[in-house]
Amino acid sequence: MKSEHMGTDAEQALRVFERRVDGMAPDKVDIIAMEEEIRALLDARGREVMVDVLKRADTTASEVEIAGQRWGNRRVHRGEYSTVFGPVTVERSVYQRSGRGRVAVPLDLRLGIVEGRYTPKMARILTRGIAVMTEQDAAEFLEEIGTAKMSSSTFSRIPRAIAARYEARRDVIEVNLRERDEIPEEAVTVQVALDGVMVPQDGEHARPRGRKTDSPEPPRYESRYGSVGKECPANDDGNGGRAWHEASVATLAYFDAEGARLKTVYHARMPEPRKATLVGLLEGELLAALAEKPTLNVVFASDGQASQWAALDEMSERIPSHCGGHQMHLIDAFHVFEYLHKAADAIKGPGTGAAIALAATWRATVKEMDGGAMSVLRSMRAHRSGVTSESKLEALDAAITYVANQSDRRRMNYAEAKRRNYPIGTGITEAAAKTLVSTRMKRAGARFSQHGGQTVLLFRAAIRSDRFDALHEELGATYRKDPRIAA
């Protein structure tokens, strides 16, 4: 309601509040209550203005043209929208192509309204919230700070729908994100790395959660974007209750000539065979980087998992021939050092000074000497005859086998890597496994569906990669079109 002289209802309420404050005694000021009341009054005014903003994007033409198609049969329907000031209701034009079926809402298309209701800012809040905390925590936090109240079910449902939209357009969106990204000017080396991390899921025979029904409705987003997240190891693992499966993380880290890290791009995916989607994303990042800067040196890195190395080796073979940078394959040095420590403990006794000294000597030899791995192997084999305990001999043989296999595959040339100021460890990737996955997804009692978990990982990786803004701009573009008045 608005009067020319009195103003809107919210404006009048603000003036009443200001007069009340003017007459308030100093000992009667309740700062918490005042802040909450001010916020509520400002939100009310914000909703009034947002109604005007939304209406400005509407049209009253009898026909409109959208993406080359004519839409007519205009009618006026009431629409509800979620804004940062709270929900608002707007009368807006709705069009159809032949009087029935699908409708087009020019207001929504011009503004890029997300999933038919949420402003782009609210979509950002919902997806960031789910990336950093649980649905319930996010809903409670939003209520505490006074931004538009959202239920925990909204925090669950809408980010999943947005992530499903991303999955349906993933190839195009990722190409656009890479094109928008800038390679640091000082970058001379890029490390390409993979790692695995276990996540909790519902096993194949887990009891359904949520409302009990014999015929549950599929998620709403599936009607728009098709089935996503259906194929996963948890579907046929034979487990009940909470089951654990290996998700995966990938990092593409840039380094300068002195070996200082400049920037890292992160990706993470829920469990899937051969980490296929993640490997494709990582290779796409590498090829985009090399297309822009063909002279980059490339260091492929991982722990000893064979499937990860198979993917990295194949990726290495597909690097275009015109790329002139140096290539190396390096097993994570700290995994090697763990084996060296176990071998030294087996020979000299667990935790003894002699074992600590021997392990330190081997570490230095591997890191600093050309051919250091073979030197350490000879030393370990020479000590083997002096180990009589079966368990210690088993630990020593495991170390010998590990170092021999990695050395044979030329993944332990650390002395050369150090001379070139290359990274010799996968600490960045292992940290990614913790920050992207573990700290968010391994809370007490947590279990994730395939798509629910991927929704968290999508937006969490975007935040870590400093691509959250760009991702939402790319997603926002998919919701926007430019309706024109039909000629």
Residue 4 pLDDT grade (very low, low, confident, very high; cuts 50, 70, 90): very low
Tokens representing 207 are 């009891």
pTM of the model: 0.93
Residue range 140-195, pLDDT digits in tens: 999 999 888 899 999 999 999 999 999 999 999 999 999 999 999 999 999 999 99
> If you average pLDDT over residues 352-378, what whole number do you get?
97
Residue 255 has pLDDT above 50, yes or no: yes
DSSP state of 77: E
Beta partners for residue 254, in sequence order = 190, 263
Residue 211 pLDDT grade (very low, low, confident, very high; cuts 50, 70, 90): low
What is the C-alpha to C-alpha distance for residues 463 and 439, in angstroms, rounded to an integer? Answer: 15
Residue 3 has pLDDT above 80, yes or no: no
Choice between 444 and 406, residue whose per-residue pLDDT is larger: 406
Tokens representing 247 are 């998700």
Determine how β-strand 86-96 pairs with β-strand 261-269.
unpaired
User: Considering only CA atoms, which of 296, 328, 336 is closest in space to residue 410?
Assistant: 328
What is the C-alpha to C-alpha distance for residues 126 and 147, in angstroms, rounded to an integer? Answer: 11
DSSP state of 319: S
pLDDT value, residue 175:
98
Residue 207 pLDDT grade (very low, low, confident, very high; cuts 50, 70, 90): confident
pLDDT value, residue 147:
86
Q: How far apart are the first and last CA of the chain?
A: 36
Residue range 68-110, pLDDT digits in tens: 999 999 999 999 999 999 999 999 999 998 756 789 999 999 9
> If you average pLDDT over residues 246-259, what whole number do you get?
98
pLDDT value, residue 216:
67
Residue 214 pLDDT grade (very low, low, confident, very high; cuts 50, 70, 90): low
What is the C-alpha to C-alpha distance for residues 58 and 247, in angstroms, rounded to an integer? Answer: 45
Residue 437 pLDDT grade (very low, low, confident, very high; cuts 50, 70, 90): very high
Q: Which residue has the tokens 């503004």?
A: 111
DSSP state of 275: G
**Strand residues in 24-176 grouped as ranges (E):** 64-66, 69-83, 86-96, 103-104
pLDDT value, residue 213:
66
In percent, the amount of the chain with pLDDT more than 90 equals: 87
Residue 397 · residue 279 · CB < 8 Å? no
Strand order in the sheet with 484-485: 103-104, 86-96, 69-83, 64-66, 484-485
Q: How many CB atoms lie within 10 A of CB 328?
A: 21
Residue range 460-478, pLDDT digits in tens: 999 999 999 999 999 999 9
Q: What is the dihedral of CA 457, 460, 465, 468, to 10 degrees?
A: 110
Beta partners for residue 361, in sequence order = none
Q: 3-state SS of 364-379? A: HHHHHCCCHHHHHHHH
> If you average pLDDT over residues 271-275, what whole number do you get?
92
